Amino acid sequence: MAETIEQKKSFRGFSGNQLKVFAIIAMAMDHLAWTLWPGYDNKSWWLIIIHFVGRLAAPTMWFMVSEGYQHTRNFKKYLLRLFVFAVISHFAYNFCFGISFMPFKNSVLNQTSVIWALFCAALALYVDDDEKRKFPLKDWQKTLIIVVLCVLAFPADWSCFPVLCVLHIHRNQGNLKKQILGMLAYISMYVIVWCSAIDVVYGLLQYGIIMVWPLMYFYNGSRGKWKGMKWFFYIFYAGHLILMGMIRMLLYGNIATIVG
C-alpha cells in the first residue's frame, strides 16, 4: 500500500548531519557570547541561557564520535582526520580565546580544543574494541592505555571527560537512560572542579549536557544525504574560532576571554 501524505510528512527522527547542525548552532552561540561578553558574568540571565544552550555542542560531538567509530569504513582515515583537525583547531581555539599557543605557559586547563580530546576518545574506543583490533589486549593493558589517553586529553577543552563519556556511550549502545545518567555522573566531577576553582553558576551550567537526551532519543541512525558534512563540520569549527578571535582582537585586544 502506498504511503499516505500523513505518513510521508511524519517525523522520522534526526540524521547525524542534523545533529551536527544543532551542535554547530549551539557552539557558535556559546563562542560568540564568550567573545562579545568575556569573563564569567553570572548576573545576566540571558547570557547564562546562551552558555547553557552552548552545553549541547560537546555531548553531541561525543555521541557522533561513537557513531562515527561504529560506522566508519576506514578507521585509520577517520583517526587521521581527527588528528589533523586537532592540530589545526589547536591554533584556532587558542587564538579565539586568547590562550598561548605554547601549552602550559599559564595553566594546565583549556590548553587546546575539544577535537584533541575527541581524537583521544576515538583511540580509546579502538583500544576497548576486541572485535576491531587485530591484536589481543588484556584488561589491565586496556585500562592502562585508556588512563594514559585520559591524561593526554586532560589539558583540552572539557578535559578527559570526552574520552570517558564516549567510551560510556559506546559501551551502553541501546540503553539511552544508562548513557545519559553515566554522562551526568562523569560530568559531576567536572562540575565540582568548575564550582571550586572558577565559578559556581558556570560550574552548574555544565549539566546543560542533558539537552542531548532528546537528540539521542530521536536519532534515526542515518548519516544524512550530504556526504560533505563530515568535512564541513571540522572546517566550520576551526573557521568560526578564527573569526571569533579576530573579533576579540578588534574589540578588546590581546586579552583572554576564558580560563586558559
Burial (CB count <10 Å: 0-12, 13-18, 19+), residue 32: middle
Q: So what's the pLDDT on residue 9? A: 54
Return the closest-CA partner of residue 47 out of 191, 194, 199, 183: 199
Q: So what's the pLDDT on residue 256? A: 87
Task: Please report, in tens digits, the pLDDT of each residue of the chain (260 residues total).
Answer: 344 444 445 678 999 999 999 999 999 999 999 999 998 999 999 999 999 999 999 999 999 999 999 999 999 999 999 999 999 999 999 999 999 999 888 888 899 999 999 999 999 999 999 988 889 999 999 999 999 999 999 999 999 999 999 999 999 999 999 999 999 999 999 999 999 988 999 999 999 999 999 999 999 999 999 989 989 999 999 999 999 999 999 999 988 888 75
3-state helix, strand, coil in the chain (%, to 5): 70, 0, 30
How far are the Cα atoms of 170, 197, 250 from residue 48, in angstroms, in the given order?
Answer: 31, 18, 24
Residue where the block lists cell 544543532:
22
Which grid cell sits at 90? 589547536
Return the closest-CA partner of residue 233 out of 33, 11, 67, 51: 67
Q: So what's the pLDDT on residue 189? A: 96
Which grid cell sits at 112? 587546546
Q: So what's the pLDDT on residue 6? A: 47
CA-CA distance, 53 to 57, in Å (whole number)?
8
Q: So what's the pLDDT on residue 104? A: 85
